[in-house]
Structure 1
Amino acid sequence: MRPASGFEIVAARLWNVLNEGKSFHPVFVLGTFLLLHAGELAGAGFWGRALPALALAAPLVALFVVYDFPLRLRWALWAFLAAFVLLFRFADLAAAALALGLYVFFTVFFWGTLYYHLRTGAPWTNFLRFWRLVLENPDSTSGNFLEQVPKALLALFVLEYLVAEPPALGRAAPVLGFIAAVGAASHLVHERFFDWRPVYPEGPTREVNRGEPLARRVIVVVIDGCRLDRFREARKPYIERMMRRGTVYETVETVYPARTVVCFSSMLTGAPPERHGITSNLVLRLGLRVESVFDALRRAGKSGRLVGIAHLIDAFGDDVASVTSVAHNDKIDRNLIARARRELEERDPDLLVLQLLAVDQNGHVRGTYYPEYVEQIETTDRLVEEFMGWCEERGYLEGAAVILMADHGQGRGIGAHGHLSEGERFVPFAMWGSGVGEGRVVKEPRSILDLAPTICYLLGVEPPAGSSGRVLKEGLTR
């Protein structure tokens, strides 16, 4: 139950620089370029060619930071790469070989084997499965082979073409013209074909409970990274029993990009990413731009706590009771639950949000289409039952409403989530207990933005300023 240390918080932020695709791309391109010319770095002649080349290639690198090319749009990147080779009759095989070698080493061996072994206890042989997961991965991370590799190769080919010795006259103008054409094509591709982003509720939250609270306490259990279809497949007798006693929402949609810190920020503010300001797990500007449910509770003289791992601190600061994520995957959820018990005993909060991480980590390390993923959901069911039994024994469920959900699902590959591929978009969502109707099933589409205003309605407080989510009144008794 160790809290995340200061070192772990900083390390998590540094890791996200390499984990998130937008930040990985410039770091990887620059690092590979310098390694290609390691023997020339001390020479002034090299830098006389390299600095102009870096300046000319910078717009292309920036373009690939702005545009993700998610899912089926990735093939445009390979078309751009082929167009450069054909138009300029140039391909640097040494750059390609080094880039592919470094990429495979980083994703398959460093990330998929060493990192996950040290952090979660994954087997040393994990690379035997992980290489296949990287090849089919569709998310917004650096592990997305079909997005990151063509981006890197094109940027490196441009750099090597420009830095050639002796430099060919007139190369700068054609390259800039090519980059401009890639920029225009990228804009058109995204405008016309990027059409699967969620539609969020608009306008401020209008439903406010100005009467008596429906619940004395709200406990939210978030099974991080739980696919809805695999959740339905799993044997989970306790959760299913409680779902029958409450209300189940069958079509609850996550946000874009479907990254953990982004999703938690939307869940607990009621605001879309564009409004709360958290748009990836790499948080460059710490804190939220809008109020959270914890702020709303403080205004009303109530309290809330979020029990989770270090990277949630970047958005929620001191409202997070952190637990180190450096733990074997069969221990991490027990550690988080132990911290949740401690928060209830020491602080007795009106709202407790508990992040359970093992399902998400299992998907990342071993893939979501393997039996281990469903088995981990089944293990989570037993842990939730134990935790709720403990809460009931000590009176924490008296007058309490319980909400069970996921922040996002997971797709193919390395537990992919970000670009809303199949398996990511819709999440499990159910609630039961005080103020919740029994035996109800709601099929109409809802959003994870609806969590914050629903919590506030149950507790009888004003929703967070900036919330546009809708109270899930179909599942409430009034």
Structure 2
Amino acid sequence: MMKKNLFFLFALFFTQTISQAQTGKIKHVVMVGFDGLGAYAIPKADMPNLKQLMQNGSHSLHVRTVLPSSSAVNWASMLMGAGPTMHGYTEWGSQTPEIPSIATTKNGLFPSIFNAVATKNPKATFAVIHSWPGIGYLIDKKVVQQVYNMEDNDEKALHKAIEIIKKDKPTLTFVHFDEPDGVGHNIGHNTPEYYAELKNVDYKIGQLLQAVKDAGMEKETIFVVTADHGGVDKGHGGKSLAEVEIPFVMTGPGVPKGKQIDQPMMVYDIGPTLTWLLGAAQEEVWRGKPIKSFQK
């Protein structure tokens, strides 16, 4: 019995050491979110940069949103590691919780990935650059040092993000783009115009990847591409797979190449996964969990 217990403790120590060694290489995370980028579209899209990322890293095209499959509720769930009945943001344009948050920090907001990382590393630096103004209501500006509202201008958001990554090298950078959601609403999902806009999405991915390389951060950075929802016709918010399946594509130290993540994954698992990769503890109130099945 004693030998079995010793073996168990050794195995546990070995597993923890492997995880710590992997996460110890990671000093930066750049998470890029595209509003309305449906996972359904990626196999058919002309997106060489994104597909190269998929070959160089791990991915899932079957991450589920929370309901409704709309913006604020899902961006909040991604950043806050929990669903809407816990953090309280329940609608497309939620600016404050419609349901009181089940727990809050001293600043009055539900704990986010930024709080978790700051607790682990008080010297951590954060930047949020967002095209849709609604993102700003979800960010604790007393924790995130740099928040830039680019007011529906994706080009300005791209240039500001490149500038911040190269100049400041934040611990965690979240870049939000409003497209292809606009094209989805105005012209329609799964249309030639939507796929044309995905070429612009792919261009932005390439530019941000280059910024990480130019900053000399590439070997210490997890780079993520994801979204808040997909869509059908000219809308979203419903329960079809085209609306509720989003992509999650990740590259960086310790991330296997060309691996499809088969483990079921929800949008609120993204924040906890990135928190774990940065070596920080999970917030007690979170219900999302780190996705570790991509480990080598």
Q: TM-score, normalised by structure 2?
A: 0.82
The whole-number CA distance in structure 2 between the counterparts of 1:269 and 1:213 is 23
Percentage of matched positions with identical amino acids: 24
- SS of the counterpart of 1:242? helix
Aligned residue in 1 for 2:7: none
Q: 1:434 aligns with which of 245, 253, 269?
A: 253
Q: Does the alignment pair 1:311 with 2:123?
A: no
Larger deviation, residues 213-222 vs 416-425: 416-425
Pairs within 5 Å for 1:432-471: 432-471=251-290
Aligned residue in 1 for 2:9: none
The whole-number CA distance in structure 2 between the counterparts of 1:294 and 1:444 is 25
- SS of the counterpart of 1:389? helix
The whole-number CA distance in structure 1 between the counterparts of 2:183 and 2:52 is 25
Give yes or no for contact 1:246–1:431 (8 Å, CA) kept in 2. yes
Q: Deviations over 1:92-133 (max 9, x none)?
A: xxxxxxxxxxxxxxxxxxxxxxxxxxxxxxxxxxxxxxxxxx
Give yes or no for contact 1:408–1:425 (8 Å, CA) kept in 2. yes
Residue type at the aligned position of 2:94: L
The whole-number CA distance in structure 2 between the counterparts of 1:422 and 1:325 is 30
**Structure 1 residue 305 displacement after superposition:** 2.3
Give yes or no for contact 1:401–1:435 (8 Å, CA) kept in 2. no
**Structure 1 residue 391 displacement after superposition:** 2.0
Q: Does the alignment pair 1:370 with 2:181?
A: no
Give yes or no for contact 2:78–2:270 (8 Å, CA) kept in 1. yes
**Structure 1 residue 325 displacement after superposition:** 2.6
Give yes or no for contact 2:73–2:94 (8 Å, CA) kept in 1. no
Change (3 A) 1:431 1:284: closer
Aligned residue in 2 for 1:297: 117
The whole-number CA distance in structure 1 between the counterparts of 2:20 and 2:214 is 31
For the aligned residues, what is the CA RMSD? 2.3
Q: Does the alignment pair 1:359 with 2:180?
A: yes
The whole-number CA distance in structure 1 between the counterparts of 2:40 and 2:81 is 25
Aligned residue in 2 for 1:109: none
The whole-number CA distance in structure 1 between the counterparts of 2:291 and 2:96 is 33
Aligned residue in 2 for 1:204: none
The whole-number CA distance in structure 2 between the counterparts of 1:361 and 1:434 is 34
Higher helix share: 1
- When Rg is computed on C-alpha atoms for both structures, the one with the higher figure is 1
The whole-number CA distance in structure 1 between the counterparts of 2:218 and 2:45 is 26
Q: Indicate the structure whose relative CO is greater, using CA pairs within 8 Å and at least 6 residues apart.
A: 2
Higher strand share: 2
Give yes or no for contact 2:128–2:147 (8 Å, CA) kept in 1. yes
Residue type at the aligned position of 1:387: L
Q: Deviations over 1:232-289 (max 9, x none)?
A: 2101111111211111113210111122111111101110110011111133449964
Q: 1:239 aligns with which of 22, 42, 50?
A: 50
The whole-number CA distance in structure 2 between the counterparts of 1:231 and 1:357 is 17
Q: Does the alignment pair 1:383 with 2:209?
A: no
Structure 2 segments unaligned to the other structure (5+ residues): 1-15, 105-109
Aligned residue in 1 for 2:83: 272
**Structure 1 residue 388 displacement after superposition:** 1.0
Aligned residue in 2 for 1:476: 295
**Structure 1 residue 346 displacement after superposition:** 4.9
Aligned residue in 2 for 1:321: 147
Residue type at the aligned position of 1:315: L
The whole-number CA distance in structure 2 between the counterparts of 1:285 and 1:272 is 12
- State the number of aligned residues: 264
Give yes or no for contact 2:38–2:230 (8 Å, CA) kept in 1. yes
Give yes or no for contact 1:452–1:464 (8 Å, CA) kept in 2. no
Give yes or no for contact 1:252–1:446 (8 Å, CA) kept in 2. yes
Change (3 A) 1:238 1:345: closer
The whole-number CA distance in structure 1 between the counterparts of 2:188 and 2:61 is 24
Structure 1 segments unaligned to the other structure (5+ residues): 1-206, 327-331
The whole-number CA distance in structure 1 between the counterparts of 2:86 and 2:288 is 12
Q: Deviations over 1:316-359 (max 9, x none)?
A: 14236233334xxxxx3221111212332454311111112221
**Structure 1 residue 227 displacement after superposition:** 1.3
Give yes or no for contact 2:39–2:62 (8 Å, CA) kept in 1. no
